[in-house]
Amino acid sequence: MRNYQPKKNNPYILPSNLYMRMLYLVRDYNRLKEEYANIIHEMPHNDGMPKGNMTGDPTLEKVLKTESISREVGAVEQALYQVPQEYRKGVFDNICYGDKFPIIAGEATYRRWRCRFIYYIAKNLNQI
Q: Where are the domains of the chain?
A: 16-43+59-124
Tell me the per-residue pLDDT of 34-76, one tens digit each, with 9 for 90 and over: 999 988 887 766 655 666 666 667 788 888 889 999 999 999 9
Q: What is the pLDDT of residue 12?
A: 86
Query: Rounded distance, CA 80 to CA 91, Å?
Result: 9
Query: Rounded distance, CA 46 to CA 58, Å?
Result: 9
As a whole-number percent, the residues of the chain with pLDDT over 90 amount to 49
Query: Rounded distance, CA 70 to CA 89, Å?
Result: 21
Tell me the per-residue pLDDT of 20-39, one tens digit each, with 9 for 90 and over: 999 999 999 999 999 999 88
